[in-house]
């Protein structure tokens, strides 16, 4: 079976985000299947003589999906966040026009993939796609995310001058990530003198960007984070790291006392899976699919309830037995996910879809 996969996410700003991560790992694992021949492309006119075309992402406000299909086409729609929270994602007239074309281009697709049952429900609701055409195929953490030896952890700790105890967040800083809430919660935690040594570590390229004089709606949340750190006198308490390689990120997950994901919504939530794969205790919001991914291995909070977040942080930081229990549960939960499984289920869908009319 010949499959053409669009690799635009590997050439764009998505490269270091979840969509790029998904595209890369899916292709690498599909290559292991001898029944599949992979052809990658950027422009549709590059595609010749294939059984299936797969777009591993869907852009709502740029016309990236062709109206005319040259082969049975599958599209992965990771989530519909810009539609759910449209007030926080202004698109303008051109974006609205592109959205109309993109929705039109969805009509003659053979099938759709999404990351979670929660996202599937939202796709049905917001894009009016038939339920039977949407297939839930979970993502996974890379096998690099694992428990490291003490020596390897010590090397990373020294390299980044990390403290003995810290709360970790990794990823982007757009509005849906709810990071001002995390900063405020961390400040409230620090009022307890027993946590005077605890730091907050933020990992991601955005945290080293100079954005004060840039006027862009997607940067407003990051600006607010920066302002809060200064306003609440947390400059020495918050460690902002840039984009770091996977090997070092694995080490930082291993060293973290707690991983926190405060998002209002996630279509999947790869960072909590990465953290759990490293045995890191996780607390996260109830936003979107996060409870679906974390299962019973995670403690959840309301992303608008600051007191609840502070209570959970306090409780978990003080209770090493609870930390140990969450770590063990996490390592059990992540066994449900693998890129081999993701690729296998995707190939099954390819085989079914290539014969559909």
CB 208 within 8 A of CB 240: yes
Q: Compute the distance between CA of residue 11 and CA of residue 84 in angstroms, rounded to an integer.
A: 27
Does residue 178 share a domain with residue 44? Answer: no
What is the CATH classification number for the domain harbouring 206? Answer: 3.40.50.2000
Burial class (CB in 10 A: 0-12, 13-18, 19+), 1: middle
Whether 4 contacts 54, CB under 8 Å = yes
Strand order in the sheet with 299-301: 238-241, 199-203, 166-170, 258-261, 282-285, 299-301
φ and ψ of 21, to 5 deg = -60, -45
Residue 308: domain span:
150-336
pLDDT of residue 217: 62
What total of structural domains would you count in the chain? 2
Whether 113 and 190 share a structural domain: no
Cβ neighbours of residue 13 under 8 Å, at least 6 residues apart? none
Q: Are residues 44 and 66 in the same domain?
A: yes
Same domain, 167 and 291: yes
Does 145 fall in a domain? no
Q: Are residues 91 and 182 in the same domain?
A: no
Distance CA 73, CA 75 (A): 7
Closest CA to 139 of 315, 302, 274: 274
Report helix, strand and coil shares of the chain as percent, to nearest 5: 50, 15, 35
Task: Report CA-CA distances (Å) from 230 to 311, 313, 320.
Answer: 24, 22, 31
DSSP string of 141-173, one letter each residue:
--TT-SPPPHHHHHHHHHHTT--SSEEEEES--
pLDDT at position 89: 82
Q: Would you tell me the crossing angle of helices 306-318 and 320-333 to the nearest 10 degrees? A: 100
131 and 262 part of one domain: no
Same domain for 166 and 309, yes or no, is: yes
- Are residues 31 and 79 both part of a single domain? yes
Supply φ then ψ for residue 289, to 5 degrees: -90, 0
> Do 318 and 203 share a structural domain?
yes
Burial class (CB in 10 A: 0-12, 13-18, 19+), 32: exposed
Query: Do residues 83 and 184 both lie within one domain?
Result: no
- Mean pLDDT per 10-residue run, the chain (357 residues)? 94 75 95 95 91 95 93 96 88 91 95 97 96 97 96 97 97 93 97 96 87 67 90 96 93 98 95 98 96 97 98 97 97 97 97 79
HEC readout, 93-120: HHHHHHHHHHHHHHCCCCEEEECCHHHH
């Amino acid at each position: 079976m010949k499959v053409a996969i669009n690799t635009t996410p590997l050439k764009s700003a998505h490269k270091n985000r979840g969509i790029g991560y998904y595209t890369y790992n899916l292709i690498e694992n599909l290559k292991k299947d001898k029944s599949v021949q992979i052809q990658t492309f950027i422009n549709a006119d590059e595609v010749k003589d294939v059984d299936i075309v797969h777009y591993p992402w869907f852009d709502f406000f740029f016309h990236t999906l062709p109206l005319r299909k040259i082969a049975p086409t599958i599209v992965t729609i990771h989530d519909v966040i810009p539609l759910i929270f449209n007030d926080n994602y202004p698109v303008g007239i051109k974006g609205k026009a592109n959205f109309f074309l993109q929705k039109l281009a969805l009509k003659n697709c053979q099938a759709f993939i999404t990351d979670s049952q929660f996202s599937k429900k939202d796709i049905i609701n917001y894009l009016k796609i038939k339920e039977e055409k949407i297939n839930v195929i979970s993502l996974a953490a890379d096998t690099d995310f694992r428990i490291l030896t003490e020596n390897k952890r010590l090397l990373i700790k020294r390299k980044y001058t990390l403290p003995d105890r810290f709360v970790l967040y990794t990823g982007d800083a757009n509005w849906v990530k709810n990071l001002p809430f995390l900063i405020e919660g961390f400040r409230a935690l620090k009022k307890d003198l027993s946590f005077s040594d605890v730091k907050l570590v933020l990992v991601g390229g955005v945290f080293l960007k100079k954005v004060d004089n840039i006027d862009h709606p997607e940067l407003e949340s990051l600006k607010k984070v920066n302002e809060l750190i200064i306003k609440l006198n947390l400059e020495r308490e918050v460690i902002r790291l840039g984009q770091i390689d996977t090997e070092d990120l694995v080490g930082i997950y291993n060293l973290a006392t707690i991983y926190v994901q405060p998002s209002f919504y996630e279509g999947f939530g790869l960072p909590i899976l990465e953290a759990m794969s490293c045995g890191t205790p996780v607390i996260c919001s109830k936003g979107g699919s996060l409870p679906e991914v974390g299962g019973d291995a995670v403690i959840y909070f309301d992303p608008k309830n600051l007191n609840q977040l502070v209570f959970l942080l306090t409780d978990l930081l003080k209770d090493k037995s609870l930390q140990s229990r969450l770590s063990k549960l996490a390592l059990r939960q992540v066994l449900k996910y693998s890129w081999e499984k993701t690729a296998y289920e995707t190939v099954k869908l390819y085989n079914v879809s290539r014969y559909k009319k």
